[in-house]
Each structure stands twice: as C-alpha cells, then as structure tokens.
Amino acid sequence: MTALIRLGRRPLLVLVLFLFQCHWAITAVRAEETRSGSRKEGASFELLIYQSGVTAVFSGKQRIDKDHGNDLDPNTDSIARGIDSLTFLFEGDPQEYSVPLQAGAIESNGFFPLNVFAVNGFATFPQEAGPRWAIVDLNRLRDFLQEQQPMPDQTIDHPQHYINAQHSGSELNTVAFTLKLHFSLATAVFRGHAAGTFSLSSATESLSFLLPNTNEALLFRPTGTLYPSDWRFNLVSPDHNHLLLPQDHYGPYHIVSFAHLAQYLDGHKAPDYLVDWKFPGSAVDAVLSQGRWLADDVIAFSAHCCGTTAELVYTLGSDKGPALYKTQN
C-alpha cells in the first residue's frame, strides 16, 4: 500500500480506472458470449472461381465460430466449411453441371476451394462415392461430368498433400475469384486473385455492394490503405443490421447500418460509429486487426504496437469508447 501511495494521487487514480475498465470489459465479454450462444450460420454465399472457359461455383451458408482465435484462417474456413454444393459452368453452354457432395466433403482432407483449379490444366474435386478425389483434365471435364468419360485421369486420397508433393509453387495456377455474401438488405461482393491454399480474404482486391432494386454496384473505398491481412469476410452483425468495415491497417473501424449504407458508400453520410484506439502515452499508431462481432451490438478487435498486443471490446453507442480486455507482451 505504501508503494501505491508514493505514486501520488493521479497515477493511483489511473490504476484504479484501468482495473475497473478491465473488470467491466471481461464482464461484458462473458455476458455477450453467453447471450449470443454459438451462432455459427452466417450469410448464404456463392464463391465463383474462374479458369479459361470454365467456372466452378461453390454455394452454401457461411459458418462462423464464436471463438475466432482457434482457426488457422477463420475467414476462408467460414466459407469452406459452409459449402454444400459445387457446380461447373462452361462458356457458351447454358447447362449447369453439378457435382454431388457428401456431408463435410469440402472441409475434409485439407481441401481448400481454390484447389479446384490449383493445378494448371486440371480440375480437382470430391467424388460422389467414397473419400477419394478426382483429378480431371479440363479438356475432358465436361465429358466426365456428363458420364461420357467414366473414369477421372487420376484419383487421390488427400488433395493438399498431393498438390504440395507433386507441384511447386510456380506450378500452382493463379485464379480469379468472386465471393458473393447475401445479406437481407444487400449483397457484399469480394473480388481478387489467389493460388493454391492462399487465404481468400488475404487475396481480396476490392469490395462492392449490390443494393435491392438496383443493378449498380457501389464500391467500398476505405479512407486509408488496407493490407492483405486486413480484409475479412465476417462483416455483418449477428442481427444483420450493421457492417464492420476496416479503413486502414492502423484503423479506424467504421460501423455502418444497412439503412445508411448507400449514402455512406456515396460519401454523403458518415459512419454510424467510428472506433479507434491508441496505447496510452504512445505517439506511435497501433495496428488494428481481427475486427469481429461478439453480439448484435458488441465488436472485438486487437491492437498491436511496440511488442504489446491489446484485446479490446466496444459496445455500439458507448461513450466510453473501446474497453481494454487484456494485454499480451
């Protein structure tokens, strides 16, 4: 106690406020996690992966785990684990060629959606029966899907091991992709280029939104520079009322309601909430990352600077700003 008194009244007050803030944040996080339960189903989606003359279309519903810290790549996983159908479209052919999928086929055996065209000149996809995977030359793919060619060029047990063992990075095919996430009041459209097991979100090059009753895509223009690691697919709040949009590698975050999205994207309206944070007493900007929703009105994110990482939570409308949850050195 003597040591604390010698610090003076002001440092002691700062310490007390800091401890109160930590306690409040921990209590809030636990309450929100209990209230939100284990919601794991997000927006319905189509992931289109393009190759010369043919497009693979993966469809399903986003699966979002409450604990984002356990996934190697929660962004790509939330898509891959939600896939329930695969269809091939060929240029100039109106017919759709569906590939029957077993439950859990896409998420098993290390398969990433980009692997469908990872090996140049071939398609890789799960077979209808059994755990094995088919590799088919693109020149014969339509015949195979029409069952005119009954056997694939090759069958494998583990696509990721096969690709890593048989093909160097220079042989992996870079493909263009479009990911459409369908929310009730808008569709988010991510576009980019990636190869092999590269994270889809990290390969994002642009984000736009399609609004109801219009064919015009409104482009999202961040106020600063986003690094590949800054892009995330888990934008929407659990109640589908708000979007969490990063603006720069160093923050801030904009939280925008769907009701104001069109005016916000046109530059005619400010975000509903602006969330930023700096380490107390530091003149260096912190890197803000891992922005995510904990509940309908609560977000969490990380701040990193000078060897220290802070975890923070923010409740929409709070006049206290982000609350410190924990720090790691």
Per domain, the residue ranges of the chain are 20-38+238-329, 41-175
Residues whose CB falls within 8 Å of the CB of residue 191, separated by 6 or more in sequence, listed in order: 176, 177, 178, 179, 204, 205, 206, 207, 208
Residues whose CB falls within 8 Å of the CB of residue 12, separated by 6 or more in sequence, listed in order: 4, 5
Write out the two tokens for 129: 């029966």
Is the link from the previous residue into 322 a cis peptide, with omega within 30 of 0? no
Long-range contacts at 6-15 (CB < 8 A, ≥ 24 apart): none
Chain-centre distance for alpha carbon 262: 22
Q: Tell me the H-state helices in 37-125.
A: 74-80
Q: How far from 313 is each of 29, 73, 201, 230, CA to CA, in Å?
A: 7, 21, 23, 18
Q: What pLDDT score was predicted for residue 106? A: 60
Residue type present at position 37: G
Q: What pLDDT score was predicted for residue 103? A: 59
Q: What pLDDT score was predicted for residue 37? A: 45
* Sign of the dihedral defined by the CA atoms of residues 110, 116, 122, 126, in that order: positive
The half-sphere exposure of 51 on its side-chain side, counting CA atoms within 13 A, is 25
Q: What pLDDT score was predicted for residue 281? A: 87
Q: What pLDDT score was predicted for residue 170? A: 59
Q: What pLDDT score was predicted for residue 150? A: 79
Strand-pair partners of 51: 54
Pick from 116, 183, 200: which is nearest to 191 by CA? 200
Q: What pLDDT score was predicted for residue 4? A: 32
Q: What pLDDT score was predicted for residue 171? A: 62
Q: What pLDDT score was predicted for residue 68? A: 43
Residues of the chain with pLDDT under 70: 1-41, 65-77, 102-112, 128-131, 166-171, 196-198
Per DSSP, the three-state class of 317 is coil
Pick from 143, 159, 139: which is nearest to 151 by CA? 143
